[in-house]
Structure 1
Amino acid sequence: MVNTDKFASRLGKILKYYDLSAASFADKIEVGRSSISHILSGRNKPSLDFVMKVVKNFPEVELYWLLNGKGEFPASSTSPLIENKNLPQGKPVSSQNVPDEKIQHNNPPQTVSGIPDFKKGKGKDIQRIVIFYTDGSFEAFEN
């Protein structure tokens, strides 16, 4: 679980690093300005959507650092690391820098526990799936 006070502190470091006000930060990641205020004050916890928007718009922010305070900020060129067996030689790469042409989809779509194709009848496409492991690592798969 994310510690709201420490998350707010890390979010403050991001604002200071980029020299942004809370309002301009909210505009940049396309969330309501009150959302930033409520998170910084500790009133609300950040949503997954909020966290992913921060990581997407600010490549120096490591996901695991933002959530748990482990790792570093600003991120070095080798973190956060994911291992993806579909990448050449299983080399670790930043989740932000995986070119679409490097992601291979060799396996046909599968069902999970008898649940039919996720897209069927929903009218929505899956953009990204992120798997978080207990050791703090994660894998990101983009469509």
Structure 2
Amino acid sequence: MINSVEFTKRLQKVIDHYGETASSFAEKIGVQRSSISHILSGRNKPSLDFVMKVLHAYPEVELYWLMNGKGSFPQISKISESPNSNTTAPPQNQQLSNSESDADIEKIVIFYKDGTFKSYKP
């Protein structure tokens, strides 16, 4: 379950990071200004559609960070995109830190822009 208070803090961090006002942020993601106001005040909880609009307008925002606070914002390292491909891949020769390389992978989830996803377990 989403902690609405913490989600609101993360959403405000995104708005502040990009130097937006609540009004300009609402316009950029395609929602009414009152929707932003109600979410920031805690009156309403964000819908899935709202979250997807934020992620679409601001691809640097990670879903898991926005929803659960896990990860970082802004992203510490970017994933580079090949100019001849629609897929993304990590930069070549990138070294993982010990904490990343010793961790067991539980699941890999790929999110598509149409809102669908695929989940893979090793």
Q: TM-score normalised to the size of structure 2?
A: 0.67
Determine the structure 2 residue equivalent to 1:105: none
Query: Matched residues in 1 for 2:67 and 2:108: separation?
Result: 12
Structure-2 change in CA distance of 1:51 and 1:44 (3 Å): same
Q: How many matched pairs?
A: 96
Q: Which amino acid aligns with 1:60?
A: E
Residue in 2 aligned with 1:86? none
CA distance in 2, matches of 1:69, 1:136: 18
CA shift digits 1:59-112 (9 cap, x unpaired): 22110000000000001345xxxxxxxxxxxxxx68xx698754xxxxxxxxxx
Q: Identity percentage over the alignment?
A: 55
Q: Structure 2: 5+ residue runs without aligned partners? A: 88-105, 115-122
Are residues 1:29 and 2:19 paired? no
Q: Which letter does structure 2 place at the counterpart of 1:138?
A: V
Partner of 2:110: 139
**Matched residue of 2:15: which SS?**
helix
Which position in structure 2 is the counterpart of 1:54?
54
Counterpart residue identity of residue 46, structure 1: P
Q: 1:76 corresponds to which letter in structure 2?
A: I
Long gaps (5+) in structure 1: 79-92, 103-134
Q: 2:109 is matched by which residue type in structure 1?
A: F
